[in-house]
Every structure is written in C-alpha cells, then in structure tokens.
Structure 1
Amino acid sequence: MRESPHLCRMKVTFGGLVISAGICGILSFAFLATSLGTEYWYIIETNPMNMSDFENMSSHSGLWSINEGGKTQTDSIDSFKADFSRYTETELQMLNMHSAIVVLLPLSLVLLLLGGICGLVSSLARSPVLLTGTASYFFICSLLTLCGVSLYIIYSHQALVETERRVGLEGLAYVRTSFGWSLGLAWLSYGMELLTGILLLIAARMAKLQHSSPTMT
C-alpha cells in the first residue's frame, strides 16, 4: 500500500509539530525551574550618595529568600511558620498571598514534568484524544503559572504600599524598585506553556485527519 503525497506531507508536518511542542515544553520547564531557583524576582536599589540611613537597603529577593549585601537570608520570608497573631490584617493578607504563590508555581513545575511524559506518549501513539488531553493539561499548567506570577506582582505592589505607609514617601525618595529577570523567566515559561498546548492541539487535528483520510494502493 502506498500513501498519497498529501498524507506524506501531513506526516512531516505532524512530526515537526510534536518536536516543536516538545522543545517548547522543555523550555517552559527550564525557564520556570530557573526562575524558582534564583533570587531576582524583585530588586531594591538605593543611591548611597543621597542617603544616610538606608545604605544597606539594596537587595534582590526570590520567593523564599532575600539577598542583602551579598548575604542570603533564607528565613526572611516564611509564611507557613509565621506567628499570625502579631500581624495586622493587611500583613495577614500578604502572607496568604505569599503562601499561595509558593504553592502554585512549584505545583505548575511538577505538572509540567508530568505533562512532558504525557506529551511523549500521546505523540508516539498519534492519538487525537491523547494529544488534545495533553494540550488541555498544558493550558491548565499555564493557568497555574499565570495565577502565581500575577499574585506575586500584586503581592509586591501591596508590600511597597505598606512600606510607603510606614516610612513615608520621603524615606523612599532615593529607593528604586523593579521586577527582575527571574520574574521575566516565569513569564516566558507561561508563554511557552501556551505555545506547547496550541501546537499539540494542531497536532491532534492533523492526527485526526490522518486517521480519517483514505489510503491509495
């Protein structure tokens, strides 16, 4: 039996799609893992030429630690072991957000690893159902990543507002805050997760067409 040239072109396209989806999935995992393991989510920079009391405020932080003056404080953020009785309502809200962040993003990372296995199996099986299910799985992962990153941005903004309330605008006049490249990697991971899901959906469609196309002898 000889397959039509149309089917051969579809096979090449299907292989290219699943390979591209695999590369995107690997990149999304690598980006998110690197993001979670680094301490450049949020950066605080000061101008020592114009400051007298806040020379040591320059720092960069990750999800679980803060690096100040080259020294990492791993216990500076611990929303699970905190004594909630001594915090205000606003601080409790921030702690709850931080707890959600450090659950959502690592969970998304674990699910990405499992999604890679599902993607490999569904691609080898050329099953439209499995490919569609794996694509939906990656969309769920992307949603978890999006929720975690968005919560972190809200959390950081609220922390800055709370700091301004405590020390006043004059106290932060020579302090510049910004999001770091670790957060950027998390956003890239989110984009790669979406792209992986889209490519798998297209591959599922092509696999379905392959199964329904007649063959020529």
Structure 2
Amino acid sequence: MRHGVVVLGAGFTGLLSFTLLALAIGTDYWYIIDVDKHNHTGPDDLSSHSGLWRIVEGSNSGSVIPTFTANMSSLSEAERNLLGLHKVVVIMLPLSLVLLVLGWICGLVSSLTSSPRLLTGSATYFLLCSLITLTGISIYIKYSNQAMEDFQRMVSPESLACVDVSFGWSFVLAWLSYCLEVATGLQLLLAARIAQMKGKYESGVAIAML
C-alpha cells in the first residue's frame, strides 16, 4: 500500500470528521419528540426537536437552553443534575471540534515530513480526540435518558402512549464524526508503519551499495 494514498485518505477522513461534528453541534436535531396529532386532543402541537443550544417546539421559534445562565438556587436537585450533564456536553464537543483543527494541522505537517514519530504522534492525538467526542456523546445519551425519565414521572401513561421519542440526524452526524476520527488515527498509524518500513528499506539499500 502506497504511503501517499494512506496519507490522503487520512486527510480526507479528518476533514470530513470535523465537518460532520461542526454540523452536528450547529443543528437542532439531536433529540426529537413527536406527538401523534390524531391521539392528542389539545389545540397545540407539542412535538419538538432540540440541539445542544436550543429547543424548537412545534412551529414556534426556538428557545435557548439556559445552560450557563440559569438561576441554580431556583432549580430542583434533578434539574441541577440535568443542567450539569448538559454543561459537560456543550463544553466537550466544541472542545473536540477545536482539537480536530489542531490535529488536522499536525497530521498535515507530519505527512509532509513523512516522519514515523510525527505520524504516530498525530495518530495518537486523533484517537484522543475521538475519546473526547465519544465521552461527549455518551454523556448526552445519559442526559437525554434522565430527562425522559423525569418527564415520564410527570406525565400519565395515557399521554405517553401518543409520544414517540428518538435521536435525530444531528446525533447521527456526531457518531459518524467519532467513527471518522478513529479511522483517521488508524490510517495515520498505518502511514507511520509504511514510512518506517520504507526508511529501513532505503537504509538497507544504501548500506548494500557501499
């Protein structure tokens, strides 16, 4: 396998992972609550979809989630726990996005130098970024499940029968970004291995020619 092909593949997947994570963070379809209008007798559309920053209910404009502006003293213990989980998510995922930019630059430099050590370092960096992304996604799942459990305790089973909840396409984009971050790291490790073998081969040829 050629070194240049592997490096180009790593550059493409690294750039794509950044793009997908940026789209996921900036869109509002992480969590979708769909209320069946045929079974719901109220006049309002209670369906909603939410992202990391706001909630859009029905046809109304979105309302910003008060992650850092909420008055903690007026919240219950459960609400404070939810807000704490949400704070971690909105810090970790944007942090991962920034680190991906730095990782892509490091990967580009190490690819141009064809240094096995630099390539290995860049690969390790991308794999660490993927862990941060995975942690953010996992905490979001915990946050969503806990929010749903609190909602179920407040709503009657009859009302829940017409409610369908699911993760949206923004959430899927975040997962795809994580997978591509791992793929980028593995490709850089492969590129480091190829560069190392190429260096040994060239050293052997040089010695044989002496």
Stretches of structure 2 lacking an aligned partner (at least 5 in a row): none
Q: Is 1:78 the counterpart of 2:66 in the alignment?
A: yes
Structure 1 position 43, deviation (Å):
0.6
Q: Does 1:165 align with 2:119?
A: no
Question: Is 1:107 aligned to residue 95 of structure 2?
Answer: yes
Identity of aligned residues (%): 51
Equivalent residue pairs, number: 205
Q: Which residue is equivalent to 2:205?
A: 215
Structure 1 unaligned runs (5+)?
1-9
Structure 2 partner of 1:23:
12
Given the alignment, which residue of 176, 187, 194 partners 1:188?
176
2:137 is aligned to 149
Matched, 1:126 2:108: no
TM-score normalised according to structure 1 size: 0.90
* Partner residue in 2 for 1:38: 27
Name segments (4+ residues, structure 1) moved above 4 Å: none
- Matched residues in 1 for 2:102 and 2:63: separation? 29
Contact kept? 1:44, 1:175, Cα under 8 Å: yes
Question: How far did 1:54 drift?
Answer: 7.1
Q: Does 1:69 align with 2:58?
A: yes
Question: One-letter code of the match for 2:205?
Answer: T
- Kindly report the root-mean-square deviation, in angstroms, between the aligned alpha carbons of the 2 structures: 1.4
TM-superposed CA distance for 1:125, in Å, is: 0.4
Q: TM-score if structure 2 supplies the norm length? A: 0.93
Shift of 1:167: 1.7
